[in-house]
Amino acid sequence: MGPVEPTQPTLAGMPRVRSPRLAKERAVAAELPVARVCVDVQPAHLDRLFDYLVPADLDDAARPGVRVKVRFGGQDADGYLLSRHEQSEHAGTLTPLRRVVGEPVLTAEVARLARAVADHYAGTLADVLRLAVPPRHARVEAEQHEPAGPAPDAPRAVATAWTPYRGGAALLQHLVAGGSPRAVWTALPGPAGERWADAVAQAAAACVLSGRGALVVAPDARDVDRILAALASLGLPAGAPGGAVRLTADEGPAARYRAFLAARRGVARVVVGTRASAFAPVADLGLVVLWEDGDPLHAEPRAPYPHARQVLMLRAELAGCAALLGGFGRTVEAQRLLETGWARQVAADRAVVRERTARVRALTAVELAREGAAAAARLPAPAFAAMRQALATGPVLVQVPRAGYVPVTACARCHAPARCATCTGPLGLDAAGAVPSCRWCGRLATDWACRQCGGRALRSVRVGSGRTTEEIGRAFPGITVRASGSHAGGGVLDTVPDRPAIVVATPGAEPVTEHGYAAAVLLDAAVATSGEGLAVEPDALRRWLAAAALVRPATDGGQVLLVGDGAARPTQALVRWDPAGLAERELAERAALRLPPAVAMAAVTGPRQAVELVVGRVSAPGLAVLGPVPVTGPGATLDPDVRALLRVAPDAAPALARSLAQSLAVRSARREGGTLRTQVDPPEVL
């Protein structure tokens, strides 16, 4: 007896009508009829591949890497076809693919990388693939493209930007020869043609000369544009066949997908982009570069929260390619890569450092003791005089650690912190004469009164870039004052003219000048180094060095003034221009205290019962469970969420991630209540 043809159920007295979609059986492909598919579904216990039949009419289109539509759980679902096989391990009847969508977009190398990232972060493959492959744009996919091939003109082999560094020339020689070195590079400021973007471009060009592709990841679009400009000067222009391509999320869906396809089709040899480009399908990948790995923009805010540094490290190991981590500072994570032997150091000698950098002075309370009461001024007399002198020869940069106008206020009578009456969040001012508003919930405090003394007047505790711009404008009449930042009227400035002016910028928003700033003043050092996080001091030094690197060298009169009583170690590291020394001490202390990255950690946050259930099922060699403890902060309730930290030795990190993923799969299958946030390698544990 043949198979029974399914029919559509009907009401009594109505004729029975066959379902046209299910009535016709589809022939199966003669060769490799089984497709292994990653279905885009959320539950953790479904994080595995599923087998489907390949219909004969989809045989040619159903290639590994294509998007497919499948039937899953009684509904249509999206997925990626990863491979095809002769037989299936599934004992039951297989469902055929519904249809194939577009051309192959997922390479085998990127699929392996996505699986490795999911395993490292105790996530699911579907979650990682959502980050790795941009949404499809059918019109862009239908556009004509030129076939893959070598660049019309080979890039120029230039190594001028690497000459000042020990091991710099050897690094490029290895790349040209087809080698796969791994390096942590401490960059220095330099003249045009020898700046950090030129060094990155020269490393990528050396890799292209070996017949391989290169991938460069930078924190933001401004850095991406600088790298692309440097690549164009070496014969690798953006958009040209065999050249470079810009892959950033702010390009828009069409432009982003066009750049992605250029890399997938082999039209572009070099991909330059932000954190999502770490998964870009570069053909014959020979080099991955990460600029400023300590920048928080490299951390993905969506599950499973991968960091671009770890993604590129995994990619370098899986692809056997070279890796380069560079920046003006040095993170503790990069220092650990050096101490474990994963990478080698590329840095300049002290004589070169002194020749390339500006003179740095720290205007602390001890340094300003002779000024008397004037030492408490936010812009003390020595800084004012240095700015006045520098304005005779060029622009001056003023870095302010906080954006806004007055982000933090206090009672003018008793100096108690001003708090919101609704959520107890801090009150701040958005402009002169504005009504105070809460920094957490946004409510206006129109009738605020101090809970301690009843006073109604406010005083500023932290001054932002907006208020600083006003104060400096009054202090330097007749001088052009520009503001650069996300809260500034003109937004973030990319460049400013090389003439006398004062530029007030927040960290990361400092514009570039052609010949460098004559001086830089780094305000509020105590604010920059305050806080309870592990990375407070290295982050402060990284931001200071990024601004100081824009100043002319001391031989040309450049100087940097750090104002305020900041933490001693980053202050001294800035004065000596020694980020490696601070990173070494930080790593040694964290190893003694058993803190990341000397150990591996995972954080589980959510309702207490849900956290205890998940953590109770986790097991790994040497596992230590810290907590759970209540999580306080904006929106805290009488029954706050709790957080538990899971700590193991670095060599047990894979076992911890695997066990945590299994526990989350059990939670998903049992439909345990509560909303959990699970994060491996959390950026902050304090």
How far apart are alpha carbons 312 and 289 in whole angstroms? 8
Same domain for 216 and 81 = no
Per-residue pLDDT averaged across 53-81, rounded? 93
Helices 168-176 and 196-209: angle between axes, nearest 10 degrees? 30
Model confidence at 8: pLDDT above 60: no
Same domain for 259 and 188 = yes
How far apart are alpha carbons 307 and 278 in whole angstroms? 10
pLDDT at 376: 67
pLDDT at 465: 80
Per-residue pLDDT averaged across 635-641, rounded? 64
The fraction of the chain above a pLDDT of 70, given in percent, is 93
Please tell me the total count of domains within the chain: 4
pLDDT at 153: 61
In a domain, 5, yes or no: no
Select the more confidently predicted residue: 367 or 677. Answer: 677
Same domain for 178 and 214 = yes
How far apart are alpha carbons 271 and 282 in whole angstroms? 7
DSSP three-state, residue 240: coil
Q: Which of 318-322, 477-481, 635-639, 665-669 has the lowest mean pLDDT?
A: 635-639
CB atoms within 10 A of CB 58: 21
Which residues contact residue 368 at a Cβ distance below 8 angstroms, ignoring those fewer than 6 apart?
374, 375, 380, 382
Same domain for 549 and 446 = yes
Which tokens is 461 given? Answer: 């505790």
Which of 353, 388, 420 is the last residue in one of the domains?
353
Model confidence at 281: pLDDT above 80: yes
CB atoms within 10 A of CB 349: 11
Per-residue model confidence as pLDDT tens digits over 84-115: 999 988 888 899 999 999 999 999 999 999 99
In a domain, 594, yes or no: no
CATH number, residue 643: 3.30.70
pLDDT band at 21 (very low <50, low <70, confident <90, very high): very low
- Model's pTM, two decimal places? 0.89
Per-residue pLDDT averaged across 332-336, rounded? 97
Contact 306, 289 (CB under 8 A): no
Same domain for 614 and 570 = no
Q: First CA to last CA across the chain, in angstroms?
A: 69
Q: Which domain holds residue 436?
A: 359-589
DSSP three-state, residue 594: coil
Model confidence at 380: pLDDT above 60: yes
Model confidence at 13: pLDDT above 90: no
In a domain, 130, yes or no: no
Reference 524, options 578, 561, 472; nearest CA is: 561
Per-residue model confidence as pLDDT tens digits over 150-194: 444 667 767 789 999 999 999 999 999 999 999 999 999 999 889
pLDDT band at 287 (very low <50, low <70, confident <90, very high): very high
Q: Which of 203-217, 401-415, 612-626 has the lowest mean pLDDT?
A: 401-415
Model confidence at 3: pLDDT above 60: no
Helices (H), 301-345: 308-319, 332-339
Which residues contact residue 521 at a Cβ distance below 8 angstroms, ignoring those fewer than 6 apart?
379, 383, 386, 387, 396, 397, 398, 399, 560, 561, 563
In a domain, 18, yes or no: no
Per-residue model confidence as pLDDT tens digits over 562-577: 999 999 999 999 999 9
pLDDT at 424: 82
Burial zone of 422 (CB within 10 Å; 0-12 exposed, 13-18 middle, 19+ buried): exposed
Select the more confidently predicted residue: 371 or 354. Answer: 354
Which residues contact residue 28 at a Cβ distance below 8 angstroms, ignoring those fewer than 6 apart?
53, 54, 55, 56, 96
Residue type, 613: L
Same domain for 61 and 200 = no
Per-residue model confidence as pLDDT tens digits over 458-489: 887 778 888 888 889 888 998 999 999 887 87
Same domain for 297 and 187 = yes
Same domain for 406 and 283 = no
Same domain for 610 and 561 = no
Select the more confidently predicted residue: 73 or 616. Answer: 616
Q: Which of 10-24, 462-476, 535-549 has the lowest mean pLDDT?
A: 10-24
In a domain, 377, yes or no: yes
In a domain, 97, yes or no: yes
Same domain for 577 and 467 = yes
How far apart are alpha carbons 231 and 151 in whole angstroms? 13
Same domain for 349 and 365 = no
CB atoms within 10 A of CB 105: 21
Element (H or E) spanning 100, and its range? strand 99-101
**Could you tell me the sign of the dihedral formed by the alpha carbons of 235, 239, 242, 245, in that order?**
positive
Per the document, the length of the chain is: 686
In a domain, 154, yes or no: no
Q: Which of 136-150, 215-229, 427-441 has the lowest mean pLDDT?
A: 136-150
In a domain, 442, yes or no: yes
Whole-number Cα distances in Å, 597 to 294, 370, 536, 587, 652: 13, 43, 15, 8, 13
pLDDT at 2: 39
Model confidence at 147: pLDDT above 70: no
CATH number, residue 294: 3.40.50.300
Per-residue pLDDT averaged across 68-80, rounded? 93
Q: What mean pLDDT value characterizes the chain?
A: 89
Same domain for 453 and 349 = no
Which of 546, 561, 589 is the last residue in one of the domains?
589
Whole-number Cα distances in Å, 533 to 287, 393, 683, 686: 33, 40, 9, 6
Contact 621, 639 (CB under 8 A): no
pLDDT band at 15 (very low <50, low <70, confident <90, very high): very low
Whole-number Cα distances in Å, 56 to 61, 97, 611: 10, 10, 48
Which tokens is 117 given? Answer: 């990232």
Q: What CA dihedral angle connects 551, 334, 523 and 361, to 10 degrees?
A: -60
pLDDT at 334: 97
Reference 159, options 181, 176, 184; nearest CA is: 176
Which of 56, 76, 104 is the last residue in one of the domains?
104
pLDDT band at 143 (very low <50, low <70, confident <90, very high): confident
Per-residue model confidence as pLDDT tens digits over 491-506: 889 999 999 999 999 9
